Amino acid sequence: MHYIFDFGWVWEYGPIIFNGLLITVELTLVGAVVGVLLGVLCAWARTLGPRMLRPPVAAYVELIRNTPFMIQLFFIFFGLPSLGVRFSELQAANLAMIINLGAYSCEIIRAGIEATPKGQFEAGAALALKPLQTFRLVVLVPALQRIWPALSSQIVIVMLGSAVVSQIAAEDVTFAANFIQSRTFRAFEAYMLSTAIYLALAIILRQLLALVGRRIFPKVPAR
């Protein structure tokens, strides 16, 4: 069997591909920034926050970590309108990614906080810092430094998982690939191109996150 590759349609559908790329990048940026901030808040609540916050935050984390991302996305986009809460495709995709990454990053960051030596908490108390100040100024940065590689990997995983948002017609890279193959019937080439785009995005995102880690976290001098 001889298969003839044909990528002649790339220029014709270039704007659709580029738009899908922009939406995937936008979803990743919003999901990463807001999702990690949510994860920090939840990690604080589970480790150092008021006891009454711990059960609901724990329930949220377990619910999200033990249900498929696609179901969470469908619940937001298709389920919530039954209660009168409606989101556009892009809003639902953003919200689902934020909620999903928030739960996973919470557990990753919590591990970093729990690995913090007690001496750092004692140092904060000795400086007359309030609990939130101790967390923000003394505990959080070293904790993030310890778990940054794991957190970076989770952000990349969420970016790759964003491919399912095409199921609610969010016009990301996968939506563009589906649209192109439905018009050209060149499924192999369309999905080969989308695979290459996701691979490039994952590599670039890992490098950017590594660069951010080197910039914001001080290096520990060798002894």
pLDDT tens digits along 133-156: 778 878 888 899 999 999 999 999
Q: Region 59-80: what's the mean pLDDT? A: 97
* Rg of the Cα atoms in the chain: 21
Give the pLDDT confidence score for residue 6 in this predicted structure: 84
User: Has residue 37 got a pLDDT over 90?
Assistant: yes
Whole-structure pTM value: 0.91
Give the pLDDT confidence score for residue 218 in this predicted structure: 67
Dihedral of the CA atoms 65, 32, 91, 159 (nearest 10)? Answer: -70
User: Has residue 222 got a pLDDT over 50?
Assistant: no
Nearest to 134 by CA among 142, 124, 144, 126: 124
Give the pLDDT confidence score for residue 3 in this predicted structure: 78
The DSSP 8-state label assigned to residue 164 in this structure reads G
